[in-house]
């Protein structure tokens, strides 16, 4: 049973434009990321692609900081603030320079309603304009908190990586609110992958009396849990697993995650 559970974290705003600001952005006196030997796109370059010259006027770059994301990845954060000190644009990059997050402020909710196809087209346009790699596969379109989310789940060898992928957040008329890209480390797949029916039998053997399996086992890259069922460190490599879902006697849903090769229990969602 495969589920994508991404919470909306980019409830910020942006007015998109493609003008170059000249010297409208005031430089910070703190060292720049590239001065520290970090190879990444300067926030001023990204701002020039997203904001108009008028919106860029008076913005100041804050000193970059090294932060750790919710997924546990170490990142470099760059921030632009206005004359009042309010954050206008935030950009986070992995240490190798890969763009991970853009969050803006000031974009109105707008009353428009994007069709699914229009939302996907707008999201692709924003990714292309920012020079980002196009995700593979077909995206899912969702709505949350007055925003439209276009989500591409990351797949490796045709198997989804749970909670990884590219998420683009739009307002009601398709303006870019923000985007987030997650790419977790992956363990080497097993030399031999067990059959789905063998995974099903192994899962059934672990279930208490009265529990029922619903559907067929599905492969996914998952984050292993420790012996108590709690997820291990977020940067622990994801492992290829057979996921088997169903319901307990009381109707509560569960999912078991078994190593795709050895069928050893890696984790579970809902206590079996």
User: Mean pLDDT per segment of 10 residues, for the chain of length 272 residues?
Assistant: 38 30 40 56 92 89 91 92 91 94 82 86 95 91 90 95 95 92 95 97 94 94 71 77 95 95 91 56
Distance CA 176, CA 15 (A): 7
pLDDT recorded at residue 136: 86
How high is the pLDDT of residue 8?
Answer: 37
Domain locations along the chain: 34-182, 196-269
Question: Is this prediction's pTM over 0.85?
Answer: no
Rounded Cα distance between 236 and 70, Å, is 13
pLDDT at 14: 31
Cα distance between residue 162 and residue 239, in whole Å? 10
The whole-angstrom separation of Cα 211 and Cα 250 is 9
- Cβ count near 63 (within 10 Å): 13
Distances 200 to 9, 204, 214, 263, 272 between C-alpha atoms, Å? 36, 6, 10, 10, 14
Question: What whole-number distance in Å separates Cα of residue 231 and Cα of residue 131?
Answer: 34
Radius of gyration of the chain (CA): 22
pLDDT of residue 11: 36
The CA distance from 30 to 251, in Å, is: 57
Specify the pairing of strand 239-247 against strand 218-222.
antiparallel
Percent of the chain with pLDDT over 70: 81
């Amino acid at each position: 049973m495969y589920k994508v559970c991404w919470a909306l974290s980019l409830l910020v705003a942006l007015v998109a434009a493609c003008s170059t600001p000249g010297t409208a952005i005031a430089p910070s006196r703190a060292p720049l990321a590239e001065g520290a030997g970090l190879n990444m796109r300067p926030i001023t370059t990204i701002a020039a692609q997203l904001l108009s010259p008028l919106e860029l006027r008076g913005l100041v770059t804050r000193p970059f900081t090294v932060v750790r994301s919710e997924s546990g990845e170490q990142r470099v954060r760059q921030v632009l603030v206005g004359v009042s000190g309010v954050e206008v644009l935030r950009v986070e990059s992995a240490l190798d320079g890969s763009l991970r997050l853009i969050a803006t402020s000031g974009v109105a909710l707008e009353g428009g309603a994007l069709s699914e196809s229009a939302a996907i087209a707008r999201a692709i346009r924003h990714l292309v304009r920012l020079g980002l790699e196009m995700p593979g596969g077909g995206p899912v379109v969702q709505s949350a908190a007055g925003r439209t989310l276009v989500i591409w789940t990351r797949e490796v060898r045709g198997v989804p990586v749970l909670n990884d992928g590219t998420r683009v957040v739009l307002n009601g008329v398709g303006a870019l609110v923000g985007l987030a890209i997650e790419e977790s480390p992956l363990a080497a797949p097993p030399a031999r992958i067990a059959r789905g029916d063998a995974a099903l039998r192994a899962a059934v053997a672990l279930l208490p009396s009265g529990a029922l399996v619903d559907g067929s086992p599905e492969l996914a890259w998952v984050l292993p849990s420790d012996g108590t069922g709690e997820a291990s460190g977020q940067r622990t490599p994801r492992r290829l697993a057979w996921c088997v879902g169903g319901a307990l006697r009381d109707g509560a849903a569960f999912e078991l995650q078994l190593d795709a090769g050895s069928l050893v229990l890696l984790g579970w969602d809902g206590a079996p």
